[in-house]
Amino acid sequence: MNQRSSNLLDEALGLDQVIEPWPLRCRVVAIEDQVKTSGSFILNHLLKRSLSPNSSNVTIFITFSQPFSHYDRILRKLGCNLVSQRDNSRFFFFDMLKLQCPDILIKAKPLATGLGTNVHGQLTVLNKGRNMVSNFDFKVKENVVECFYPGRSRGL
């Protein structure tokens, strides 16, 4: 077995040895983080290791938060092109937020004009069961969220 340049994270995951098959092959890796301590750097590290030029690994990546362009931009800075990896069938990306799985999808977006004192953002509710789309503004208060149609805020 050959040693490869590694760090403590690689050693803990068994990636410090040059062995076949890859130690994370056919494994599900979940990364748990917190608001104050993001674990996103771990994803980027593992993606880069998995898709290194001297590897034949195929990666299936399921995300619940960021679009493909986010990871592609970051990995390009690290020397890994996710578009070419995807085109070569080495990287499969599933954005669970874009799949039409939910019966009800609620999207919260900032206002196009920016944050205001009387309106904090805009909600879009897509309700498949009622075949209905609703758009309205919202303001988060201490004990409640106030929802109202655009231009109908009490403070305007």
Residue 141 zone, left/alpha/beta (φ > 0; ψ -120 to 50; rest): beta
Domain ranges of the chain: 2-95, 104-148
User: Could you give phi then psi for residue 31, rounded to 5 degrees?
Assistant: -115, 120
Query: Block means of pLDDT (10 residues each) for the chain, length 156 residues?
Result: 68 80 82 84 90 87 89 94 95 83 83 81 87 89 88 64
What's the pLDDT at 60? Answer: 92
> Cβ contacts of residue 104 below 8 Å, gap of 6+?
125, 126, 127, 128, 129
| Exposed/middle/buried for residue 49 (C-beta within 10 Å: 0-12, 13-18, 19+) | buried
Asked whether the beta carbons of 138 and 119 are under 8 A apart, the reply is yes
Residue 35: both structure tokens together: 């608001």
pLDDT score of 6 = 65
**What pLDDT does residue 79 have?**
93
